[in-house]
Structure 1
Amino acid sequence: MSRKLKNSKARKSLAGLAAVAAVCLLAIAAFQMLGDDKKSDKPAAAAEVNPAYAQLAKMARRDAHDPLAMGRADAPVVMVEYSDFQCPYCKVFATKIEPQLIADYVDKGVLRIEWRSMAIFGAESEDASRAAWAAGQQGKFWEYHRALFDHAPAKKNTGAFTRDKLTELATTAGVPDLDKFRADLDSPAATAAVQADVNEGINIGVNSTPAFLINGRPILGAQPIEQFRATVDAAAKAAGEATE
């Protein structure tokens, strides 16, 4: 291979890496902006439009066979959710807010929810996330997700999510094959899936949970249901206008 060709490929590779880095920096800036809005009590939905949102919208996988997602793969709005099963604010969202969004938007074909295991609070968070992934391999992710949050501890890493408890919750969630569940929980595939989600979140600037992307627009924390509704409605309207 000629030196000229090698140099050309190297330049293209560096250009690609620079583009990825630029997107990551824009994404981090977007989350930091929303973090500042949260601290100042300024409504995040009213934040100035950021050029990173279009890039962040690409985080949606829209895989029709994704067991950790619910709603139509071609729904006009996708909410990517970065969450930890030991996070108390994640529990508030999962038990108080998310069911309303499911009834109002997912069930009507407007919204798709895609879960990302942002397991950042230690070993029990990682085990719970692997267990949820394992339940998903048998089509029971969302039932297991609810069982985990219903039994989420007040304090992190205090023994609430032992292996025995995680298996017991699999029974509660209706996971049919417990031997397969245990094997999947301990599999390299489960570890890789959880780590990939964590890496994705870190790469775009997520440093707390829960964090959300609604068609690319970030929302941080278990905000009031009105904020989620306003953001979903705006995203649905924008998607409709774009396709008309």
Structure 2
Amino acid sequence: MPKNTSKPSRPAAPAKSRKPFLIGAAVVAAAAVLGIASYQASSPDPKPTVNDSAASASASDPAAAGSHPELMKLARRDAKDPLAQGRADAPVVMIEYADFKCSYCGKFARDTEPQLVKKYVDNGTLRIEWRNFPIFGAESEAAARGAWAAGQQGKFWQFHAAAYAEGAKEKGFGGDRLKELAEEAGVPDAARFEKDLDSDAAKAAVKKDQDEAYALGASSTPSFLINGTPLAGAQPMAEFAQVIEAAAKK
């Protein structure tokens, strides 16, 4: 099995966080596929389930698992979203649920995402929408809020690059470190960054993304939805290309 996802050592979330209140019943029915794909991509000894064949297809051949149209409505397509890149009307939207303390998220950010941007975002085929999915404790939460705060000044993707740079995770995401990352990202107003970082708006935005991921059944990072097709883990470029190109043809 691919070992390219990170999972928290603690329980994923309190029960109340798993309530799918952000998603309609039809979406919840399809959403289990993401949870199964996430499990299959990260479990060292997966046990058969009633959906085992679908899970295996989703993890090893995501295109074969097919798209779940109900999940496509999770794409926000907000042209002013600072945590997204690519045309709001792009034919394919990839939603990424990730944690800044996740090593495999960093691998994806450094190795694969730039290729996706160059090949698909730049030509208008793909839009990437980020969702903060902190699952590794207080520093994960802080980094998520920091990324959101940087986004309020148009520097989310620069903060994203700094936080996922080689060796960045090992330095932690304490208060002073977040300020350093904001400076590296070129955030112009340091005082506003600090204010936004600890604001109720930042906490609410992060919780909204986190609850969406938990409601989908995601249990590891990174996890993706590409026009409703689930993909779990920092898979090779070819896996993403297969799903993106199949979605673009529909």
TM-score range, shorter chain: 0.7 to 0.9
Q: Which runs of 4+ in 1 moved over 6 A?
A: none
Distance in 2, Cα, partners of 1:123 & 1:230 = 36
Matched length: 214
Q: Of 41, 47, 55, which aligns to 2:64?
A: 47
Give the corresponding residue for 2:37.
34
Q: Does 1:191 align with 2:206?
A: no
Give the corresponding residue for 1:103.
118
Kindly state the Cα deviation for residue 204 of structure 1 after the two structures are TM-superposed: 1.1
Give the unaligned 5+ runs of structure 1.
1-16, 239-244
Give the corresponding residue for 2:151.
136
Structure 1 residues 5-154: aligned runs within 5 Å: 20-28=24-32, 30-35=33-38, 38=41, 43-49=60-66, 53-150=68-165, 151-154=167-170
Kindly state the Cα deviation for residue 34 of structure 1 after the two structures are TM-superposed: 2.4
Give the unaligned 5+ runs of structure 2.
1-20, 47-55
Distance in 2, Cα, partners of 1:85 & 1:36 = 20
Determine if contact 1:34/1:44 at 8 Å carries over to the other structure.
Answer: no
Q: Of 171, 176, 181, which aligns to 1:164?
A: 176
Distance in 1, Cα, partners of 2:79 & 2:186 = 22
Determine if contact 2:226/2:243 at 8 Å carries over to the other structure.
Answer: yes
Kindly state the Cα deviation for residue 162 of structure 1 after the two structures are TM-superposed: 1.0
Determine if contact 1:78/1:113 at 8 Å carries over to the other structure.
Answer: yes
- 1:38-74 superposed Cα distances (whole Å, 9 cap, x missing partner): 3669623243336xx1011111000000000000000
Kindly state the Cα deviation for residue 24 of structure 1 after the two structures are TM-superposed: 1.1
Q: Matched residue of 1:126: which SS?
A: helix
Q: What one-letter code is carried by the residue in structure 2 that aligns with 1:125? A: S
Alpha-carbon distance change, 133 to 36 in structure 1, aligned in 2, over 3 angstroms = closer
Give the corresponding residue for 1:5.
none
Q: Of 195, 206, 215, which aligns to 2:218?
A: 206
Q: What one-letter code is carried by the residue in structure 1 that aligns with 2:60? A: P
Residue identity (%): 54
Q: What one-letter code is carried by the residue in structure 2 that aligns with 1:75? A: A
Q: Does 1:174 align with 2:152?
A: no
Distance in 1, Cα, partners of 2:183 & 2:38 = 39
Distance in 2, Cα, partners of 1:230 & 1:37 = 19
Q: Matched residue of 2:164: which SS?
A: helix
Bigger RCO of structures 1 and 2 (CA < 8 A, at least 6 apart) = 2
Higher helix share: 1
Alpha-carbon distance change, 36 to 206 in structure 1, aligned in 2, over 3 angstroms = closer
Determine if contact 1:131/1:166 at 8 Å carries over to the other structure.
Answer: yes
- 1:92-150 superposed Cα distances (whole Å, 9 cap, x missing partner): 10010000000001011110000000011100000000000000000000000010111
Kindly state the Cα deviation for residue 27 of structure 1 after the two structures are TM-superposed: 0.7
Q: Matched residue of 1:86: which SS?
A: coil
Determine if contact 2:35/2:216 at 8 Å carries over to the other structure.
Answer: no
Alpha-carbon distance change, 58 to 22 in structure 1, aligned in 2, over 3 angstroms = closer
TM-score w.r.t. length of structure 1: 0.83
Q: What one-letter code is carried by the residue in structure 1 that aligns with 2:114? A: P
Q: Matched residue of 1:59: which SS?
A: coil
- 1:197-225 superposed Cα distances (whole Å, 9 cap, x missing partner): 00000111111100000001000000010
